[in-house]
């Protein structure tokens, strides 16, 4: 699918060429409005065989299973799993902590590149995608759409997204869970700073609705490794107090212990967790 219009900031043609043959498939059933490639909870007469049911007046004769009739002398029709398109919600954390970056791009910019590329992939396979940008509250919301124009809309919203103080990932997850009416894909891009317990509750709220959940845990290598030497002053990006200390002391305390990301990984049951190192 070609990109029309002015040059895109977040869509690299070389990257799109590499991912062009990929397909994003739902791991659980989803609900949509158009025929697609993903299993639906509805039964129909279309694709993969599901089970039989007794023939009823009005059923098309072509769906009668004559082999079963030959064995039982009773009429049964074959039911199949219908297939549908899916809606995807891209949730982008634009809080101040996401502006940190030890290299060319911040965590926020890296997450924007990821979100834009996935939006392109989803539209290319004729599914629908929307976007929610948040910090401590929902800043921007674009309902899912399946036209190529949606790519330009999402890119414009990504360009407009600026880091804001504070974050409330868990609150956003609860709000999105209440907004979504059909089983969908939900993809979260965040550094996940905040209460792990509250975050898991928000993800469980989405999982209870039957949604496919993927979490892209976006971190900078310096946040994991603390490679700095000597005495350093650490400044919180979301209003935390400044701390002056030696990184090696923090490493000796923090790194051997199980960090929040490990707790998150083991807390995810029907959720996909991906750790992204910003490079």
Q: Any idea which of 55-59, 67-71, 214-218 has the lowest mean pLDDT?
A: 55-59
| The predicted structure's pLDDT at residue 51 | 62
Same domain, 212 and 79: no
Q: How confident is the model at residue 262 (pLDDT cuts 50, 70, 90)?
A: very low
Taking the C-alpha atoms of residue 18 and residue 193, their distance in angstroms, rounded to an integer, is 32
Asked if 136 and 165 count as a contact pair (C-beta separation under 8 A), the reply is: yes
Does residue 171 sit within a domain? Answer: yes
Same domain, 76 and 100: no
How many domains does the structure of the chain reveal?
2
| Summary mean pLDDT of the chain | 78
Q: What is the pLDDT of residues 107-145, one digit of tens each?
A: 999 999 999 999 998 888 888 899 999 999 999 999 999
Q: What is the pLDDT of residues 169-227, one digit of tens each?
A: 999 999 999 999 888 899 999 998 888 889 889 999 998 888 889 899 898 888 878 88
Same domain, 145 and 194: yes
Rounded to a whole number of angstroms, the distance between the first and last alpha carbons of the chain is 27
| The predicted structure's pLDDT at residue 237 | 79
Q: Rounded to two decimals, what is the model's pTM?
A: 0.72
Beta bridge partners of 91: 132, 188
Apex 149 CA angle, 148 and 152, nearest 5: 110
Does residue 259 sit within a domain? Answer: no
Does residue 275 sit within a domain? Answer: no
Same domain, 115 and 208: yes
Taking the C-alpha atoms of residue 131 and residue 110, their distance in angstroms, rounded to an integer, is 16
Asked if 118 and 24 count as a contact pair (C-beta separation under 8 A), the reply is: yes
Q: How confident is the model at residue 36 (pLDDT cuts 50, 70, 90)?
A: very low
Does residue 71 sit within a domain? Answer: yes
Same domain, 115 and 210: yes
| The predicted structure's pLDDT at residue 159 | 93
Q: How confident is the model at residue 277 (pLDDT cuts 50, 70, 90)?
A: low
Among 139, 199, 214, 140, which residue's Cα sits nearest to residue 168? 199
Q: How confident is the model at residue 147 (pLDDT cuts 50, 70, 90)?
A: confident
Same domain, 68 and 18: no
Domain of 75, in residue numbers: 38-84
Same domain, 147 and 17: yes
Contacting residues for 74 by C-beta, under 8 A, at least 6 apart: 54, 68
Does residue 232 sit within a domain? Answer: no
Mean pLDDT computed over 13-30:
59
Residue 247: pLDDT above 80?
yes
Asked if 131 and 92 count as a contact pair (C-beta separation under 8 A), the reply is: yes
Taking the C-alpha atoms of residue 75 and residue 67, their distance in angstroms, rounded to an integer, is 10
Could you say which of 218, 239, 265 is where a domain stops? 218
Contacting residues for 278 by C-beta, under 8 A, at least 6 apart: 101, 103, 105, 106, 107, 110, 218, 219, 220, 221
Same domain, 66 and 97: no
Mean pLDDT computed over 67-76:
87
| The predicted structure's pLDDT at residue 33 | 44
Does residue 147 sit within a domain? Answer: yes
């Amino acid at each position: 699918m070609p990109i029309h219009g002015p040059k895109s900031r977040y869509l690299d043609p070389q990257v799109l060429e590499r991912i062009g043959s990929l397909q994003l498939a739902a791991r659980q059933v989803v609900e949509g409005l158009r025929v697609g490639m993903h299993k639906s909870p509805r039964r129909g007469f279309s694709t993969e065989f599901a089970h039989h049911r007794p023939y009823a007046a009005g059923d098309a004769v072509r769906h009668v299973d004559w082999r079963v009739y030959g064995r039982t002398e009773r009429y049964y029709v074959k039911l199949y799993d219908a297939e549908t398109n899916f809606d995807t919600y891209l949730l982008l954390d634009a809080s101040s902590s996401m502006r940190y970056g030890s290299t060319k791009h911040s965590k926020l910019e890296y997450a924007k590149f990821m979100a834009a590329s996935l939006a392109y992939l989803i539209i290319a396979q004729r599914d629908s995608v929307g976007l929610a940008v948040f910090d401590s509250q929902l800043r921007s919301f674009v309902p899912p759409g399946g036209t190529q124009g949606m790519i330009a809309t999402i890119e414009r919203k990504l360009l407009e997204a600026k880091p804001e103080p504070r974050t409330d990932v868990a609150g956003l997850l609860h709000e999105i869970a209440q907004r979504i009416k059909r089983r969908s894909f939900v993809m979260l891009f965040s550094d996940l700073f905040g209460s792990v317990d509250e975050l898991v509750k928000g993800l469980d709220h989405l999982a209870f609705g039957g949604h496919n959940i993927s979490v892209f845990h976006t971190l900078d290598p310096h946040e994991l490794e603390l490679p700095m030497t000597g005495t350093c002053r650490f400044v919180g990006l979301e209003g935390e107090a400044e701390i002056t200390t030696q990184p090696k002391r923090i490493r000796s305390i923090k790194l051997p212990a199980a960090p929040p990301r490990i707790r998150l990984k083991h807390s995810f049951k029907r959720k996909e967790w991906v750790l992204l190192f910003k490079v």
